Amino acid sequence: MAQKGYFEALQANFSRLIPHANECGMVIDRLDERGAVASMAYRHEWLGDTSRGLIHTGIVTTLVDTVSGLAALAATGQFEPIATLDLRMDYLRPALPHQALRSHAECYRLTRSIAFVRARVWQENEQEPVAVSQSTFMRSRRAGAQA
């Protein structure tokens, strides 16, 4: 179980701990033992297909990887180094311009060395995801740290 104030401290230090997320304008909308929800407002420079006006899939992946890592950290209940081992993205529909991207990730299994996370990304309707994801994160606990 997380120490009192852990989620608040993680959210407050998010920008410092993950500078690229701050640069992308990522905002944590919710962070607790159930997982993480974050969003990014639309930016014109994220268009990967300017003729059709579609957001580049790399932006979607960046959001998912970051939110999934936060969900893994939330599940551990303590600050510890983690690293993405595997990130599978299934793109279900194009991400459209002029709409924010939102993602929800949850750690559904936590072992001594691996965190297993599911995530989804949507724009206006959570029931119509742009992409879904499965990922694993390596835990690098410090010597003497509890599981």
Q: What would the pLDDT profile of 38-63 be if each residue is shown by its tens digit?
A: 999 999 999 998 889 899 999 999 99
The DSSP 8-state label assigned to residue 69 in this structure reads: H
Would 118 be classed as within a structural domain?
Answer: yes
Q: For residues 118-134, b (16+ Cβ closer than 10 Å) or e, as one string? A: bbbbbbeeeeebbbbbe
Q: Which two tokens stand for residue 106?
A: 């949850």
Q: Using one digit for the tens of pLDDT, what is the confidence trace for 109-127? A: 999 999 999 999 999 999 9
Question: 125 in the Ramachandran plot: left (φ > 0), alpha (ψ -120 to 50) or beta?
Answer: beta
Residue-averaged pLDDT of the chain: 91
Radius of gyration of the chain (CA): 15
Question: Residue 2's pLDDT is what?
Answer: 62
Question: Residue 4's pLDDT is what?
Answer: 67
Domain range for residue 45? 6-139
Would 70 be classed as within a structural domain?
Answer: yes
Give the chain's domain count.
1
Would 40 be classed as within a structural domain?
Answer: yes
Question: Residue 17's pLDDT is what?
Answer: 82
Would 88 be classed as within a structural domain?
Answer: yes
Would 145 be classed as within a structural domain?
Answer: no
